[in-house]
A and B are shown apart, each in its own frame.
Chain A
Amino acid sequence: MSVETPRTSEEPVGTQEMAAPAATAGSGPSALSRLAGSSATRNLGLVIALVILCVVGLATAGERFGSIDNALTILRLAAVVGVVSIGMTFVICGGGIDLSVGAIVALSSVWATTLATQTLAADIHWIVMVFTALLVGGACGLVNGVLVAYGKVAPFIATLAMLASARGLAELIAQRRTQIVRDRSFIDFFGGSVLGIPVLVIIFAIVAALGWVLLNRTTFGRRTLAIGGNPEAARLAGIKVERQTAYLYVLLGLACGLAAVMLMARTTTGTSTHGGLLELDTIAAAVIGGTLLSGGRGTIVGTVLGVLIFTTLTNVFTLNNVDTSTQNVAKGVVIVAAVLLQQRLAARRRST
Chain B
Amino acid sequence: MNPRTISRPVRVAAALGVVVLVAAGCTSNTPEAEGSTSSDSQRAGSNNDEPGDKVTIGFSGPAADHGWLGAINSAAQAEAKKFSDVDFKAAEGTNDASQQIAQVETFINDKVDAIVLLPTDGAALTEVATKAMNAGIIVVNVDREFSTPFAARTTVLGDNYGMGVSAGTYACKLVNDKKISNPVIAEIAGIDALPLTQDRSKGFADALKACNQTVDNRVAAEFTVESGEKVASNLLQAAPKIDIIWNHDDDQGVGVMAAFDNAKRSEFAFIGGAGSANAMRWIKEGKMEATVLYPPTQAADGVRLARLLAQDKSMSDLVQVAIPRRIVLDAPVVTKENVEEYLPLGFES
Contact = CB atoms under 8 A, between A and B. Distances in A.
Interface stretch (A46-54, A136-144, A222-230, A299-307): A136-144
A3 to B, nearest CB: 20
Interface centre among A177, A246, A325 (most CB of B within 10 A): A177
A178 interface: yes
A178 B237 contact: no
A266 B67 CA distance: 20
B9 A73 contact: no
A175 B225 contact: no
Nearest to B186: A321
Contacts of B226: 263, 267, 271, 273-276
Give chain A's interface secondary structure class: helix
A273 B218 CA distance: 23
Contact of B13 (A120, A142, A174): A142
B240 to A, nearest CB: 7
A323 B231 CA distance: 12
A276 B222 contact: yes
Contacts of A320: 238
B234 to A, nearest CB: 4
Contacts, number: 149
B29 A175 contact: yes
B165 to A, nearest CB: 21
Nearest to B12: A142
A132 to B, nearest CB: 6
Contacts of A242: 5-6
Nearest to B257: A268
A272 B8 contact: no
A296 B204 CA distance: 53
Given A135-B23, A243-B5, A116 B237 contact: no
A67 B25 CA distance: 46
Contacts of A324: 192, 219-220
Contact of A318 (B192, B219, B251, B257): B219
Nearest to A327: B220
Contact of B31 (A116, A139, A175, A274): A175
Contact of A135 (B20, B192, B230): B20
A64 B240 contact: yes
A276 B228 CA distance: 12
A120 B8 CA distance: 31
B120 interface: no
A335 interface: no
Contacts of A325: 192
Contact of B234 (A132, A135, A175, A318): A318
B61 to A, nearest CB: 13
A266 B231 contact: no
B26 interface: yes
Nearest to B17: A139
B64 interface: yes
A314 interface: yes
Interface string B261-286: 11100000000000000100000000
A256 to B, nearest CB: 14
Interface centre among A70, A136, A268, A314 (most CB of B within 10 A): A268
A165 interface: no
Contact of B229 (A114, A174, A267): A267
B348 interface: yes
A2 B169 CA distance: 74
Interface centre among B64, B227, B237 (most CB of A within 10 A): B237
B48 interface: no
Nearest to A102: B226
A350 interface: no
A150 B9 contact: yes
Contacts of A276: 222, 224, 226-227
Contacts of A178: 67, 225, 251, 254, 278, 349
B52 to A, nearest CB: 34
Contacts of B227: 276
Given A136-B23, A275-B226, A240 B5 contact: yes
Contact of B255 (A67, A111, A114, A267): A267
Interface string B30-70: 11000000000000000000000000000000001111001
Given A77-B234, A173-B27, 14 more contacts: A73-B237, A116-B29, A117-B26, A176-B64, A176-B66, A242-B6, A243-B5, A267-B228, A267-B229, A271-B225, A319-B234, A319-B237, A319-B238, A324-B220
Give the 7 A-B residue pairs with the shortest CB-CB distance, closest first.
A318-B234, A273-B224, A117-B26, A116-B28, A319-B238, A268-B258, A324-B220
Interface of B: 5-6, 8-9, 12-13, 16-17, 19-20, 23, 25-31, 64-67, 70, 192, 216-220, 222, 224-231, 233-238, 240, 251, 254-255, 257-258, 261-263, 278, 348-349
17 contacts: A69-B237, A115-B29, A132-B23, A135-B23, A139-B16, A139-B20, A142-B13, A146-B13, A240-B5, A267-B228, A269-B254, A273-B65, A273-B224, A274-B224, A321-B217, A321-B238, A324-B192
